[in-house]
Amino acid sequence: MTTRFNALVIAAATLLLLSCAATTGSKTAELSNPYILQAENHTSNGMAAMQQERWDAAMRSFSRALTAAQLADDSALITHSWYNLAAAQSNAKQHTQAEASYRQVMELAQRHHDQVMQLRGRLALHLMQQRLGRLPETFSLQQLPASLFSKQQWPADLHLQAARLAQRLGETAEAEDAYQLVIKRNRNTPSEFKMAAEAHMGLALLARDRGENQTAINQAEQALSYCRQIGAARLTAHALLLQGELAQKPVEKWDRVERALDIYIALDDKTGQKKALTLLSQQANEAGDEKGAEQLLLRLTDLEDKLGE
């Protein structure tokens, strides 16, 4: 009797499972490519590492994202992964690898008719080349779309990159126009606020170079207001250093530069530390503070030794 009862229970349970399976099978299952999910996860990890300036970790994550994108055979994701990898390589000073990766971005984007990514890769490559003194002599801004400097036709980062390139090439009018295009855009995400802050800093530097110190200070202050909302520490230090350089009152000058120095120390940015210590040393000398100037000079000398200068 017990055996027969158990058999009936098992049979009923089997029928229930089959019934559930049949019901589930009648619905359209949501499909997701696991390789795309892997690429997205690795990309997120890489972005987090970039924000913390952990370039080796960023390169590893972006390389894994690239592999996953290739396994997914997702052309757009592959192109973006090459771009992210190139950016990490550039920051890690692996310039030869970065140039090859940027060219891969441009080639893939052209092949798949992605004008935005093609231009994004091109601008990033030219900026890196200009910083390294390797920009081809035949290059000119006129080779770029004029709309980069006149219309909000492109993503904000392209206008920002075009502005930086123009500024570095001494084309100040074009640089200012492109920075203004970035500032006038609506902002919702941290990256959009960061780009606006960078545009204000670009305008601040242009104003400083024209001798318009108060305008430069005001533009740097606007950059700082955004930086404090999103936590852009390095840009905060740059803005404070600029304000300290241009401030009229000694107390304000010292305060801004000292705060910038604290941030550079926390970031282990020795180049930034050198700039800040140099300004503080100059101010101490101007104030007749011989002991303070001597201490700052010792710190500066020690730092230059670490930089190999």
Could you tell me the mean pLDDT of each successive run of 10 residues in the chain, 309 residues long? 43 38 54 94 95 93 98 97 97 97 98 97 97 94 96 95 97 97 93 96 98 98 96 95 96 96 94 93 85 80 75
Residue type, 224: L
Q: Which CATH superfamily is domain 36-132 in?
A: Tetratricopeptide repeat domain (1.25.40.10)
Determine the pLDDT at residue 291. 80
- Give yes or no for a contact between 297 and 274, defined as CB atoms under 8 angstroms apart: no
Residue 272 near residue 264 (C-beta atoms within 8 A): yes
Supply the pLDDT for residue 162.
98
pLDDT value for 309 = 65
The dihedral through the CA atoms of 129, 131, 135, 139 has a sign that is: positive
Cα–Cα nearest to 41, from 65, 58, 57: 65
SS3 content of the chain, % helix, strand, coil (to 5): 80, 0, 20
Q: What is the distance between the alpha carbons of residues 63 and 42, in angstroms, rounded to a whole number?
A: 8
**Residue 58, Cα to own-chain centre: how many angstroms?**
12
Greatest pairwise CA separation for the chain in angstroms: 107
SS3 assignment, position 54: coil
Amino acid 26: pLDDT: 53
Beta-carbon contacts of residue 283 (< 8 Å; ≥ 6 apart): 250, 253, 254, 257
**Residue 32 backbone zone (phi > 0: left; psi -120 to 50: alpha; other: beta):** beta
**Residue 297: predicted pLDDT:** 79
What pLDDT does 33 receive?
A: 93
Domain borders along the chain are 36-132
Quick check: 123 and 159 in contact, CB under 8 A? Answer: no
Q: Which two tokens stand for residue 294?
A: 């001597």
Whole-number Å distance between alpha carbons of 201 and 197 = 6
Q: Which residue has the tokens 């705060």?
A: 259
